[in-house]
Structure 1
Amino acid sequence: MRSKTIFFLFFLMIGIACTQPSGKFSVDANIDYCKSQALRTLAVIPSNSTKEIPNSIDENDVNWHFTNPGAWTSGFWPGILWYLYENTKDNIWRTAAENYTRMILPVTNRKVSSHDMGFITMCSLGNGYRLTGNVEYKEGLLRAADSLSVLFNPKVGTFLSWPAMVKKENWPHNTIIDNMMNLELLFWAARNGGSRHLYDIACEHADTTMKYHFRKDYSSYHVAVYDTLTGDFIKGVTHQGLSNESMWARGQAWAIYGYTMVYRETGETRFLDFARKVADIYLTRLPEDLVPYWDFDAPDLSSAEPKDASAAAITASALLELSTYVAKPDSSRYYYDKAEKMLEILSSSNYKAKDRKDAFLLHSVGHMPRGGEVDASIIYADYYYLEALTRFKRLQESRSVLANL
C-alpha cells in the first residue's frame, strides 16, 4: 500500500507541475456561487420534510421537483452538501448533510433493486464517512456493497443493471455503461472491511465491459445485452441515446469517469490506457464550447439540439483526476486544460442558473427519447460540477505547495 501511495503521488506531482492556470477562472468564486445557490434550495425545501430530496427543475419552471430516498438520484443532494462542508468547514453544511444522509441510511437495509446503490450511497454516505469518520455511514456502505454484489452474474462477468428490463425489453442480462460508476462502492468496501470478492467482481465487470461494451472507435453502447446462461454478448442497444449505434453523451462521460476511477482503485495500466481512449474519442468530437449535445450523433448539431451540461460536468471532474495519472507532461496538460476550459464554460452566464433558478447549472438532458428533463437543471449536473471545482481547487493548492518546496 505504501508503494502504491508513492506511485500515485509521483504522478500527481508530474501532473500538477506541468499545468499552468489560465488566469481566467476563479475556483473560489464559483464555489461561493454554489454555496449561495444551495442556501436558496435549503430555504425552499419544506422544513418538516423527511422524504423530499431535490432532483430537477424543468426548463420553463423555477421550482424543484423532489425525489425520495432510494431513487437513483437521491444521493447527489447530500453529496453536494458534504462538498460544501469540505470547502467551507461551516457546520451549517455539515448539519444539513447529516440530515439528508440520515434519510439515505434506511436504503442500505433494503434488498437491492438495481445497480444504482453505488450512486445513492457513495455520494452521500461515502462523502460523509470520508469527512467525519462516522461509523454508522461505514456500516451502511458495507451493507450496500453486499447488497449490490448479488446482481453480479459470474457467467457473464458483469452486474445486472435493470432487473425490470429483463422482461420489459427482453434483455436477459443487461448492463448499462452507467454501472461503471457503481464499482467504486465495491472497491471502497473491499478496502474497508468487506470481502476481497467485492474487489474481484468489480475488476471482472470492468474487464468484461471493456471487451464488449465499446465499438472499434471506443465509443460506448448505452446497454450491453448478454445471454444469462452462456454469458455470450448478444447486442449493444440504447435506452436514453439517439440510436443503438450513436454515442450518447452522458454515457461516454460515465465511461471516462468510471475507468479513471477503476485505475485509481487498482493501479492496473490497462484501465488507465482505456480511460484515455474513451476520453479521447469524446474530446475529438466536442463542439467549440466543449459542452456536448445530448448525443454526439444527433441529426441537427446546432441550436436545435439541446446541450448536456451534466455530461460536461462529469467529464471535467474525470479529466482532472485523469490528468494526475498520465506520466507524459504534454498529455497530462492536455486533459487538465480541457477540464479547466469546461469549468470556465460551465461557469459562464450561458450555463449558470444564477437568479433564474436555485440550481447551479442550466441545460442538462435526462431522458431525451421520453422527453423527460430536457434542457433542465438536474441535480447530478450540479453534483459533478461542484466535485470538479473541488478537485480543481485541490490541484491548485497542491501545485502551490510543490512550488514552495
Structure 2
Amino acid sequence: MITTAKYTVYYGEGRDGYDVPGRVAHESIFNTNGGNYRCPSTQQGYSPFTTWTRALAWIVCGYAEELEFVETLSDSDLQPYGGRDHVTSLLLRAARVTADYYIDQAATCGVPYWDTGAPGLQHIGDYLNMPADPFNDYEPVDSSAAAITAQGLLRLGRYIGSNGDAEGSGRYLAAGLRIVDTLLSEPYLSTDPEHHGLLLHAEYHWPNRWDYVPDGRKVACGEAVMWGDYHLREVALYLQRLINDQPYLTFFGVTDQS
C-alpha cells in the first residue's frame, strides 16, 4: 500500500521525463538483490511511460477503499508505519492525484480509452472534449476502467466530504455519478439477452490482441470482462445502499455508516 503509493504513482516531481501528476505505472520493477527501485513497466498498457487506464482505475478505487479501512484501525496499528497522520496523508495524496488525472484524461462521458498514450488517439480528434466512441477505428475504450473508477470517485468524494472538503467532495461525487449514468445506459449496458456479459466495450489485453474485434471493425468493441461486470454491479449496490440509507458497503464488511 505505502510502497505502491511511493513508486507506482507519479506526482510531478521529476522522477523521469514522463512524470505527470496522477500518472501511474502498471508495474514497478525492483532489483531482487538489493531491493532498489529500477523502472516502471507494463504488460497490458501501451508503454511504461503512458498510463494503462485500468491500472489507473485500480489505484483510484483501491486508495479510496484503503482510506476507509485505515479509519477503522487503532493508532497503535498505524504507529509502525509512521502514525495515522502520515499514513492518511500518503493515501489521500495518491487517491486525489490519480482521481484528478483520471477525470482529466477521460472523455466527457467519464469513459476512458484503454491507454492515455495510445498512438491512435491522435486520429480521433478532440477526444477528451467529447463522449468516448467505442466504435471508432483507432483505439478501444475501456468501460471496465470506468466502472472501477466510478466506485473509487464516489468513495473518495464521500471520504473527503466527511473530513470537511465540500468542494472537492462535490467534484469527485459528480464525476463518479456521471460515469455510472453512462455505464447504465446503451451502448455500454448490454440489453441483448443472448450476450453473456453485462458491461460492453471493455478491454482485456489490447497489446497482445486478446480482445475480440467484430467483423468489419478495426479495434475491439462489444465485449465484456469480469472486472467490468463485477465492478458495475458493485457500484450499483454501493449507490443503492446509500440511497436507501442501508449499511455502508466496504470490502472489510458492512458498517453502520450512512
Aligned residues: 194
Task: Show the counterpart of 1:378.
Answer: 225
Task: Show the counterpart of 1:257.
Answer: 61
Which residue identity lines up with residue 226 of structure 1 in the other structure? Answer: F
Cα distance between partner residues in 1 of 2:242 and 2:169: 13
Deviations 1:231-263 (A, max 9, x none): 100111111001110111000001111111221
Cα distance between partner residues in 1 of 2:231 and 2:149: 9
Larger radius of gyration: 1
Aligned residue for 1:366, secondary structure, equals: coil
Aligned residue for 1:364, secondary structure, equals: coil
Which residue identity lines up with residue 214 of structure 1 in the other structure? Answer: V
| 1:382, distance to aligned residue in structure 2 (A) | 0.7
Contact in 1 for aligned 2:5/2:90 (Cα 8 Å): no
Task: Show the counterpart of 1:350.
Answer: 187
Aligned residue for 1:398, secondary structure, equals: coil
Deviations 1:277-304 (A, max 9, x none): 1111111111122100011111222322
- Structure 1 position 365 matched with structure 2 position 160: no
Which residue identity lines up with residue 198 of structure 2 in the other structure? Answer: F
Contact in 2 for aligned 1:221/1:238 (Cα 8 Å): yes
| 1:398, distance to aligned residue in structure 2 (A) | 2.9
Task: Show the counterpart of 2:52.
Answer: 248
1:183-262 superposed matches below 5 A: 206-215=1-10, 216=12, 217-262=21-66
Task: Show the counterpart of 2:236.
Answer: 389
Structure 1 runs of 4+ off > 6 angstroms?
none
| 1:358, distance to aligned residue in structure 2 (A) | 2.9
Structure with bigger helix share is 1
Cα distance between partner residues in 2 of 1:211 and 1:322: 19
Task: Show the counterpart of 2:245.
Answer: 398
Q: State TM-score, norm by structure 1.
A: 0.46
Structure with bigger strand share is 1
| 1:394, distance to aligned residue in structure 2 (A) | 1.6
Q: CA RMSD in A?
A: 1.5
Cα distance between partner residues in 2 of 1:299 and 1:221: 17
Q: State TM-score, norm by structure 2.
A: 0.71
- The structure whose RCO (Cα within 8 Å, separation 6+) is larger is 1
Cα distance between partner residues in 2 of 1:243 and 1:270: 26
Contact in 2 for aligned 1:291/1:309 (Cα 8 Å): yes
Cα distance between partner residues in 2 of 1:307 and 1:291: 7
| 1:229, distance to aligned residue in structure 2 (A) | 2.0
Aligned residue for 2:40, secondary structure, equals: strand
Q: Unaligned regions of 5+ residues in structure 1, if any?
A: 1-205, 400-405
- Provide the identity percentage: 31
Deviations 1:104-162 (A, max 9, x none): xxxxxxxxxxxxxxxxxxxxxxxxxxxxxxxxxxxxxxxxxxxxxxxxxxxxxxxxxxx
| 1:214, distance to aligned residue in structure 2 (A) | 2.4
Task: Show the counterpart of 1:288.
Answer: 108
- Structure 1 position 312 matched with structure 2 position 146: yes
Aligned residue for 1:234, secondary structure, equals: strand
| 1:272, distance to aligned residue in structure 2 (A) | 1.9
Deviations 1:295-345 (A, max 9, x none): 111122232211100000000111111111113112111111111110111
| 1:227, distance to aligned residue in structure 2 (A) | 0.9
Cα distance between partner residues in 2 of 1:285 and 1:234: 27
1:4-43 superposed matches below 5 A: none
Aligned residue for 1:353, secondary structure, equals: coil
Q: Unaligned regions of 5+ residues in structure 2, if any?
A: 13-20, 72-87, 125-135, 212-219, 247-258
